[in-house]
Amino acid sequence: MATDYYGVLGLAQGATDSDIKKAYRRLARDLHPDVNPDPAAKDRFQEVSRAYEALTDPEKRRIVDLGGDPFDAAGGAGAGFGGAGFGGLGDIMDAFFGGAATRGPRSRTRSGRDALIPVELELDETVFGVTKEITVDTAVLCDTCAGAGTAPGTHAATCATCSGRGEVQSVQRGFLGQVVASRPCPTCSGTGQVIPEPCPKCAGDGRVRARRTISVKVPAGVEDGMRIRLTGQGEVGPGGGPAGDLYVEVHERPHEVFTRDGEDLHCRVTLPMTSAALGTTLNLKTLDGEEELDIRPGTQSGSVLTLRAHGAPRLRATGRGNLLVHVEVQTPTRLDGEQEKLLRELAALRGEDRADSHREAQGGLFSRVRDAFNGR
């Protein structure tokens, strides 16, 4: 029976990509071996990672939605033909007529699965790049038998049931007459060989689970949700088969000052109204260090100032994005007597102390709005 990968993540079939990503992140934070040493949590983390891989790959998700299992050779193929468990018309004919095509023994050595692991990075690490040491828990080649699965000094033997053919046949009588059916040998699982004395370390599988540390080079400009592929660093296959790939998914931690939008960074500064009116120079701390930001006289609240080439590098192009500084002008809420007197004098000098000055200002504003709607 196929695994309910949606249920593993606590989701219903038809969940969006965003829902799948959020569910995986929530579970991975609690179950990752670096956070939760409980052996049961480790097994659960592997199950969750497997479900995430199945539902984020379009082809594998299609197989899941059809009721198959993309990680099972029979289930994956069967999903493409109504879930019957056959790879195609040739397999169906073989099931009825047995001798139509002799496949022969299959190899004990098979390719390993890909693995997925999340890594959390700070904003400056994703912007400038970093080399991270990460711990992964995967199947690795058994160092006792070097993947052969046999105990030291012993070898695999030819299967006595199928004589090394990897399949057995049975003859049945039906409405079509005598039917010869062929199926994988139950003794050797279709490999044509058996292991009389399995390796004591890996129990004949040719691989063992182990925790190891590897270096991951994160390129400058990588964004949240992107995956870095490490070829051959995934799960070693049964029988010591070639390892799959390891995918490292980047999770960017929120920054206390800057927010990111692609290659651009955004931040917000608050100015006193006097500085906004008279102009000033700010010393702004950026990811590249301290920079001077020129505030021109008369700067309005909501203005956006640009520091060019102070954002993130472009991954597939040259140059960097920009740092966009959003300005907020702060109006004082409390004034002492002297400050109030000076502001009133300023208002009088600017002709802003009369009641009709406010009406004129409003009239001018509403005239502009009206003209905009009238197409003037």
- From the annotation, which residues make up the binding site for Zn(2+)? 142, 145, 159, 162, 185, 188, 199, 202
* Sign of the alpha-carbon dihedral angle for 83, 88, 89, 92: negative
Our CA angle for 353, 359, 363, nearest 5°, is 140
Residue in this structure with the two tokens 């592997």, named with its chain if needed: 46
d(CA 248, CA 252): 13
Q: Which residues are annotated as a binding site?
A: 142, 145, 159, 162, 185, 188, 199, 202
Burial 204-231 (b: 16+ CB within 10 A, else e): bbbbbeeeeeeebebeebbeeebebebe
Task: Give the amino acid at 77.
Answer: A
- Tokens describing residue 213: 């540390």
Half-sphere exposure of 284 (CA within 13 A, CB side): 28
CB 142: neighbour CB atoms within 10 A?
Answer: 22
- Tokens describing residue 111: 């390719």
